Structure 1
């Protein structure tokens, strides 16, 4: 026997209607991503789009906290870069723990931070959202970041971004503590570590690419509204509840989402792969090994069943004890190859236009 609502649908028919609507919306998104996948091969070289994003730079600055370089702090080196510079500047940061907040402003594009190894070069601070600035204003999550990237064409290699604020207890307020906030377009990270607890990596907005990185946190520790691909990265949980990701796509026209390819999901606890921070959140995991740290339901709609029709969470060919589909929420997707393919390539982030394959050691 079926129950009827005021709209005249039986519950069975309503579920079928919702599933059909959700499939239509997914199909629209799939076509959108597939269309982007066709753009890359039409470009003969990255120079056609942004010549200044060539990796071989024309200027290098040395940062050495012992005084054997051009500057002793990273921020001083950034401040020395010419405003609206049109050529890549590499800031080589020698081994050490640099206790400072760093801001790369919008007016200073094409900066590379080059460490001497992710275990050896560390940028560290300990602000939280509830801390106050010199004027007595709350920092908020946005300003809690140890490093804030606001310019386009940013690159980081072989260093650690760390927020050393301690993990918050259950129910704590204002303990968000970002290790990095990335608000600039076309940012690439290779061989980096991101260490924190709640809200470690603020993938705020823009197109971003991460390869061979390690990301550690407790609650929603990869979050934001970026259009980002994470390849061969490890996501490591240090809590017993929460979520690995919290994606904030807010409208159907918002071109954002997270794609994880050939990654590892490790750590402790029972975390969701993702929570729907935004009404139209989108996250896909593919070819990813998952330890038994994933909540069997897989995903959370942020306690709002109305989001089930508009969010898109999916897996493709994932493996390991945490990848089992049997108890996943009904509105999550196990993708076919055709559906998953657009999320597996650089085209997902328009990367054929700006990610340097040689620099990031990608296969041709």
Structure 2
């Protein structure tokens, strides 16, 4: 009986701890979620709105969606939208490892060997210095190895990590890889940093009408990840910006179909986006599927060039969100600018916007009516590190 009572007592303590952690992680968002759920509670095109004093009134669905969009713009400026708890700035390196593919001047000959050698759940940053060379390996940074920096020691173009998986390849278990598992480099750990590296998927570009040829160079699923001076090379689905807060500075991203895609909350700054398309394709496919998700892509001081005809984005998710600011756009951008993915209903729920962009592809006159040209005030939340809570965790 005593043992049983101890077991029940331990179970209660564990349950209390789980509840406490859950409440902490929610970080005050219950109120916002509950309010939005109440607003969305409707069985017709007329929706019951809760006023500031608790009164109820009718509101049209279109008006509600527009209000929610503008509330989100204001909300993004409050810095209360962390995708996770406040990050800790841990930038001082604790140790260094060196990787050399030729084996002459390093501790390891592959990057994966160096990652595998690290202790799990460490809170100390380790910098892995990568000597120039082509590292043909499928690299994975697991969730339990945070605070890793991969640092190329030469020019970005000289430090290359490459592989050639596509979505239609069959894995050892007999199942197709699917897009999720095609990445040359997969980052599941938080607080990851990469500098001066080229990430490449060497699979051949898909031919017209081909299917299941998605081939990612990188999938980043870890929160608070930073990429500086890196190249991402591929064709279809080059950069899988899967989830979490991410920051890309001075990067070059090349591809053809949806070559930046996913559900991340990400800021791309001073980066070059280059299309290698032959037909009508899209640069981004942001997959936000719910008004409760805190995700979206912001491109600031970037450059869009290349070949083919390119949409700035298409609505993979019903509530997809993408903003371009101070960005040069070459004449490859189609006049409409944006694509609803064949679902006109998404035109009422996506948030696609531009602010002070320039170049032959940036003419606002031909843009679809459901996109936005932002005012100074509306654009402000998307322009700086606050968009990704960057002052909490980005250390450059």
User: TM exceeds 0.5?
Assistant: yes
SS at match of 1:198: coil
CA RMSD, aligned part only?
A: 2.0
Structure 1 unaligned segments of length 5 or more: list them: 1-6, 9-16, 40-47, 360-364
Whole-Å Cα distance in 2 between the matches of residues 19 and 335 of structure 1? Answer: 19
Q: Does 1:152 align with 2:190?
A: yes
Bigger share in strand: 2
1:98 corresponds in structure 2 to 135
Query: For 2:100, which of 58, 61, 64 is the aligned residue?
Result: 64
2:172 corresponds in structure 1 to 134
1:76 corresponds in structure 2 to 113
Q: Deviations over 1:317-338 (max 9, x none)?
A: 0000000111111100000010
Q: Does 1:355 align with 2:394?
A: yes
Cα distance, 1:170 vs. partner?
Answer: 2.0
Q: Does 1:172 align with 2:210?
A: yes
Structure 2 unaligned segments of length 5 or more: list them: 1-44, 47-59
Kept in 1, the 8 Å contact 2:87–2:224? The answer is: no
Cα distance, 1:250 vs. partner?
Answer: 0.7
Cα distance, 1:20 vs. partner?
Answer: 3.5
2:306 corresponds in structure 1 to 267
Kept in 2, the 8 Å contact 1:298–1:328? The answer is: yes
Cα distance, 1:120 vs. partner?
Answer: 0.7
Whole-Å Cα distance in 2 between the matches of residues 162 and 145 of structure 1? Answer: 9
1:33 corresponds in structure 2 to 76
1:293 corresponds in structure 2 to 332
User: Higher Cα Rg: structure 1 or 2?
Assistant: 2
2:255 corresponds in structure 1 to 217
Q: Does 1:186 align with 2:228?
A: no
Cα distance, 1:241 vs. partner?
Answer: 2.0
Kept in 2, the 8 Å contact 1:163–1:179? The answer is: yes
Cα distance, 1:21 vs. partner?
Answer: 3.8
TM-score when normalising by structure 1: 0.89
Q: Does 1:108 align with 2:145?
A: yes
Whole-Å Cα distance in 2 between the matches of residues 312 and 302 of structure 1? Answer: 14
Whole-Å Cα distance in 1 between the matches of residues 336 and 86 of structure 2? Answer: 42
Q: Deviations over 1:325-364 (max 9, x none)?
A: 11111100000010001000100001111111xx2xxxxx
Whole-Å Cα distance in 2 between the matches of residues 247 and 202 of structure 1? Answer: 10
Cα distance, 1:37 vs. partner?
Answer: 7.5
Matched pairs, number: 336
- 1:302-317 aligned at under 5 Å gives the runs 302-317=341-356
Cα distance, 1:22 vs. partner?
Answer: 4.0
Kept in 1, the 8 Å contact 2:295–2:321? The answer is: yes
2:383 corresponds in structure 1 to 344
